[in-house]
Chain A
Amino acid sequence: MNWDLLGQLLMNGLIIGALYGVVAMCFVLIYKSTQIVNFAQGEFLLIGAWVCWWFLTTWELPFVVGFLFTLAFMTVFGIVLQTVVLRPMIGEPIISVIMVTIGLSLFFQAGMKWIFGVNVQPFPKVFETETVEIFGMMIQTAYIMSLGISLFIMIGFAWFFKSSKHGLAMRATAFDQQVAQSLGISVKNVFAMAWAISAVVSAVAGVVIGIVNGVSDTLAFIGIKVFPAVILGGLDSIIGAIVGGVIIGLLENFAEYADGQWFQVGNMYTIAPFYVLVIILMIKPYGLFGTKDIERV
């Protein structure tokens, strides 16, 4: 056994898994509050990363300014997307709404290719790329930053839903829209807010990955990886999304290790999460943290 390599891969798994968790959270946020399965989640990362890249290269803005502009853009983007495209779909059959989000996903992917080209573009150097040694493993500072940002976002989400008025309103809307309205909550605003938050946070993840790997349309692939994470965690659980994301990240990297050491079939990295997904759904169809309705006895 090559323990060093395994450790390194598991560390990578944790870091990328945390990012999956963040994106999965964004997906769950939309699903929970608006009952829409958003197949365009990965494209949010893509758009966020490209827009930030554009601010930094074409406009040559300092990173902080460009990043803030990106967040502002994504807020508006999320709200406009919800109000213009998805609000008219309220009350339509779920399959139509899914077709719309799949359509959006294709539209955005093609649009980004059309505007920014198909080549991988490196981010301008934002931080010094150094490696530090932690527990005998060499880790790039960019990865540590990425893990830090993921944790920060997760804590932010936890605070938002537990303590802030708007977070509570969002949970109330997810639980029962009519009751939410009877409390004076504007459901339309909550929907717009859910999409805006989801777009912004996804964009942050997109920028983080872009800084590490460069920007290209492979970023949208994260959106596909999020599905095993989300379904594993239970479609409507925020905590489940994080746990699912981390598990998928670890699993991918462990599969890569196992493949390299023993099986030699190639590309286990991509497929393994989906195998495990199928197995878990056979054992626990609602995922690990899926809703069990409260029954008073």
Chain B
Amino acid sequence: MAEAALAQENAEMMLSVNNIEVVYDEVILVLRGVSLEVPKGALVTLLGPNGAGKSTTLKAISGLLGTEDGEVTRGDVTYNGQNIANGSPDKIVRDGIFQVMEGRRIIEDMTVIENLRLGAYTRKDSASEIKADIEKVFHYFPRLKERTGLAGYLSGGEQQMLAIGRAIMSKPDMILLDEPSMGLSPLLVKEVFEIIRTLNKELGITMLLVEQNANMALKHCDYGYIMESGKIVLDGTREELLNNEDVKEFYLGGGGEERKSFKNLKSYKRRKRWL
């Protein structure tokens, strides 16, 4: 491919993670050369089994690795042309990337409004602007408005909505969502995903979504990556992934009828590793 065309393509990428290696506690190698790209305005999903390193990838981007004794030891994370690998989390939030951490992680002994105001911590806007934005969050999550008590008493779904609302309050260019469906009922998962898609479309917030719920994630994403034991093993547009036999068999259930014999399975595995 011509290098000019490659540069052209890179320019449109809001975030590109280039071949990063992440090491925890200076000895545990968790990511072994992960590369992925997120174009501006897209909803990109990162799928994979437990322990594949999905959350670690997000933390490598948001800088939260440092809080867990992790470090990007090779490669770089380029955001709007700047290398932000191993940057401090508060600077990265100011730059416009906000991570919604796994398990909601709202401040339980504060009210809904206080949590939302904290989301706007890095903004320099006046109190009235922030108030207007809180109303905007309530527009997307009407049920949060009625909750006046401590956030710790909200239901799981409401807490997830609050966590996403808190992210919107920081006026980010990009949100990293770590398993928003965790511990929610199928109906709520559907609702949360619809809101995520709406926010992506209406507010133009670029999203990088890590999920276990491959069905939901693939239904709503533009592009997807699949990760296994610290590496990206497959990537493609939504249609490509939905029609891929391996994805169907391992992540969506069903598919893979033609290889019932053990011999074929082995050859499949070899092929899959190679990918």
Using CB atoms and an 8 Å cutoff, list the residues of chain A in contact with chain B.
165, 168-169, 171-172, 175-179, 181-186, 294, 296
Q: B33-41, B42-50, B71-79, B112-120: which lies at the A interface?
A: B112-120
Partner of A178, one of B64, B106, B119, B150: B64
Q: Mark B81-119, 1 if CB is under 8 A from A, else 0.
A: 000000011100110001101000111111000100111
- Does B153 have its Cβ within 8 Å of any Cβ on chain A? yes
Contact across chains for B108 and A294 when beta carbons are under 8 A apart:
yes
Contact across chains for B108 and A175 when beta carbons are under 8 A apart:
yes
Could you tell me which residues of chain B, from 51 to 74, have a CB within 8 Å of some CB in chain A?
62, 64, 67-68
Which A residues are CB-close (under 8 A) to B93?
182-184
Contact across chains for A294 and B64 when beta carbons are under 8 A apart:
no
Name the distance in Å between A170's Cβ and chain B's nearest Cβ. 11
Which A residues are CB-close (under 8 A) to B119?
183
Using CB atoms and an 8 Å cutoff, list the residues of chain B in contact with chain A.
62, 64, 67-68, 88-90, 93-94, 98-99, 101, 105-110, 114, 117-119, 121-122, 150, 152-153, 155, 166, 170
Which A residues are CB-close (under 8 A) to B152?
294, 296
Contact across chains for B64 and A183 when beta carbons are under 8 A apart:
no
Known contacts: A179-B101, A185-B90. The answer to whether A294 contacts B150 by CB under 8 A is: yes
Contact across chains for B110 and A171 when beta carbons are under 8 A apart:
yes
Contact across chains for A168 and B89 when beta carbons are under 8 A apart:
no
14 A-B contacts (beta carbon < 8 Å): A168-B114, A168-B121, A178-B67, A178-B68, A178-B101, A179-B106, A181-B67, A181-B89, A182-B98, A183-B122, A183-B166, A184-B98, A294-B150, A294-B153
Which A residues are CB-close (under 8 A) to B68?
178
Contact across chains for B121 and A182 when beta carbons are under 8 A apart:
no
Which A residues are CB-close (under 8 A) to B99?
182
Counted as pairs of residues, one from A and one from B, with CB atoms less than 8 Å apart, the total is 71
Contact across chains for B94 and A182 when beta carbons are under 8 A apart:
no
Which A residues are CB-close (under 8 A) to B170?
183-184
Which A residues are CB-close (under 8 A) to B94?
184
Name the distance in Å between B122's Cβ and chain A's nearest Cβ. 4
Name the distance in Å between B25's Cβ and chain A's nearest Cβ. 13
Partner of B118, one of A172, A178, A186: A172
Name the distance in Å between A94's Cβ and chain B's nearest Cβ. 19
Which A residues are CB-close (under 8 A) to B110?
168, 171-172, 175
Q: Select from chain A the residue with minimum beta-carbon distance to B69.
A: A91
Q: Select from chain A the residue with minimum beta-carbon distance to B93.
A: A184
Known contacts: A168-B118, A181-B64, A294-B152. The answer to whether A186 contacts B88 by CB under 8 A is: yes
Report Cα–Cα, A294/B106, bound state, in Å: 12
Q: Select from chain B the residue with minimum beta-carbon distance to A167.
A: B114
Which 7 A/B pairs are nearest by Cβ-Cβ distance?
Answer: A184-B93, A294-B152, A184-B122, A181-B89, A186-B90, A179-B105, A184-B90
Which A residues are CB-close (under 8 A) to B106?
179
Report Cα–Cα, A181/B152, bound state, in Å: 19
Q: Select from chain B the residue with minimum beta-carbon distance to A186.
A: B90
Partner of B107, one of A165, A171, A181, A186: A171
Name the distance in Å between A158's Cβ and chain B's nearest Cβ. 14
Which A residues are CB-close (under 8 A) to B118?
168-169, 172, 183, 185
Which B residues are CB-close (under 8 A) to A169?
118, 121
Which B residues are CB-close (under 8 A) to A183?
93, 118-119, 121-122, 166, 170
Which A residues are CB-close (under 8 A) to B62?
182
Contact across chains for A177 and B109 when beta carbons are under 8 A apart:
no
Report Cα–Cα, A177/B110, bound state, in Å: 15
Beyond A178-B67, A183-B122, A183-B166, 7 additional contacts (C-beta under 8 Å) are A169-B121, A179-B106, A182-B105, A183-B118, A184-B90, A185-B118, A294-B153
Q: Select from chain A the residue with minimum beta-carbon distance to B97.
A: A184
Name the distance in Å between B173's Cβ and chain A's nearest Cβ. 13
Which A residues are CB-close (under 8 A) to B150?
294
